[in-house]
Amino acid sequence: MITNIFVNLPVKDLDASVAFFTQLGFRFDPQMTDERGTCMVVSDTIYVMLLVEPFFQTFTGKPLVNARQANEVILCLAADSRAEVDRLADAALAAGGQPVPQQPQNEMEFMYDRNFQDLDGHLWNVMYMDPTFAQQPATAEAAGQ
């Protein structure tokens, strides 16, 4: 059984990235931090390794994606309230993050989300899903029958 996830992201400026994510309220594990990278603690089971690009490159023979020009992945975090979605997205924009161009509006009444780009252009989605929605029984129509 999988118990944790470690997402590895290349960054140009480690200090700037740490400052950015600190302003969003995340903390870093000093035991897993040096000049090449750091471990951002998202939750008790979710971690993001921010690795300077030359160090990140040692793990793959593939060229790095310029996240400002091409899409590699969208990192989605589930928040426990709409207010937390807004807090995190607003903090990201205030800390120098950028809005996601041409972001579609989510029209599902049970879900609320916002998106931003971090300092390196990585896309982040923060969403809240009404917990009562998950408790509703699926209908035959919703199941495609």
Task: Render pLDDT for 121-131 as a digit per residue (tens, 0 to 9).
Answer: 999 999 999 88
The model's pTM: 0.82
| Band (9; pLDDT cuts 50, 70, 90) | very high
What confidence category does residue 145 fall into, taking pLDDT thresholds of 50, 70 and 90?
very low
The predicted pLDDT at position 130 comes to 86
Superfamily name with CATH number, domain 5-134? 2,3-Dihydroxybiphenyl 1,2-Dioxygenase, domain 1 (3.10.180.10)
Phi, psi (rounded to 5 degrees) for 114: -140, 155
Mean pLDDT over residues 106-132, rounded?
A: 88
Is pLDDT larger for residue 118 or for residue 145?
Answer: 118
Residue 15 has φ and ψ, to the nearest 5°, of -60, -45
What's the mean per-residue pLDDT of the chain?
A: 89
Alpha-carbon span 122 to 131, nearest angstrom = 28
